[in-house]
Amino acid sequence: MMLGNFLEISIHSPNVPESVRFYQRLGFTLIPGNDTWQHAYGVMTDGRCFIGLHAFAFPGPALTFAAPELARRVATLEAAGVNFEFLKLGDDEFHELGFLLPDEQMITLLEARTFSPPNPAELGESLCGWFAEYRLPVVDRDAAAARWQALDFLEGEAPDALHDSVTVCRTGLNVGLSESRRLRGPSLVFHLPDLAPAAARLTELGIGFDHYQGARGDSLELRAPEGTRLILHAPQSHA
């Protein structure tokens, strides 16, 4: 695979402990990182969604992949039309590179994993529900989809009709490319059959949210301390 294996959604957090506590309140589990990074770093997961919280500042969120023998992939990526934003392949540094896809989405490739896979038996249950996709606002969804597909993503079935979107996917990651004006930035979208228990629990925890109601289903939108948007959506049944 050109990009390797999906690792995490990498996000800059000015206060990693604060962000960790927020996700833990939602039911996510902290996976400590290894010694790759010198900055504070931790990964929050519900078993499907992996959020890498970094004290180091960078443009993001970035979709990060573990790509062994990274230097050998450079020529293939360039042939696919990639222009690198950064390229670190020195003998004395951890190999990594980054490039932008349409609508300023950063893709980062790393030589190796920065945390070990979790034991599913040790993970708690998140009140957010089933992680459906990373949703990205785009100007032209079809042009964007073609560019993602040039990097070995496949067109998939949209997980809901909440937004006018196209979904591209690969193992471990669905990306929704949405032209919706309501989508104010990259968002993590989760599905729940019923929002009422989640809304009650968020209120009990003192976590603020906005509630949107529509013909295509209801949704709750909340923000993590570092600014990440989370959308909890109950798709409308058409049965």
Helix, coil or strand: residue 200: helix
E-only strand ranges, 56-152: 62-66, 84-88, 96-101, 105-110, 130-137
Q: How far apart are CA 195 and CA 199, in angstroms?
A: 6
- More confidently predicted of 45 and 215: 45
Both tokens of 21, joined, read 């506590």
Q: How far apart are CA 147 and CA 139, in angstroms?
A: 13
Of 83, 110, 137, the one marking the end of a domain is: 110
Report the pLDDT averaged over residues 112-131: 92
How far does Cα 62 stand from its chain's mean position? Answer: 8
Of 46, 78, 110, the one marking the end of a domain is: 110
**Global model pTM greater than 0.85:** yes
User: Which pLDDT tens digit goes with each residue over 143-178?
Assistant: 999 999 999 999 887 655 555 789 999 999 999 999
Do residues 190 and 225 share a domain? yes
> What's 128's DSSP letter?
T
Indicate if the pLDDT at residue 237 is higher than 70.
no
Here the CATH number for the domain that contains residue 67 is 3.10.180.10
Do residues 159 and 198 share a domain? yes
Do residues 67 and 13 share a domain? yes
Indicate if the pLDDT at residue 2 is higher than 80.
yes
- More confidently predicted of 33 and 199: 199
Both tokens of 176, joined, read 């929704």
Q: What's the pLDDT at 159?
A: 58
> Does residue 83 sit within a domain?
yes
Please list the residues that pair with 217 across neighbouring strands.
Answer: 235
Task: Give me the domain span that covers residue 68.
Answer: 5-110
Do residues 33 and 100 share a domain? yes
Q: Which of 17, 21, 15, 23 is nearest to 44 (CA)?
A: 23
Residue percentage of the chain with pLDDT more than 70: 95
Of 110, 137, 152, the one marking the end of a domain is: 110
User: Which pLDDT tens digit goes with each residue over 62-90?
Assistant: 999 999 999 999 999 999 999 999 999 99
Please state the φ and ψ torsions of residue 8, each to the nearest 5 degrees. Answer: -165, 165
Total tally of structural domains belonging to the chain: 2
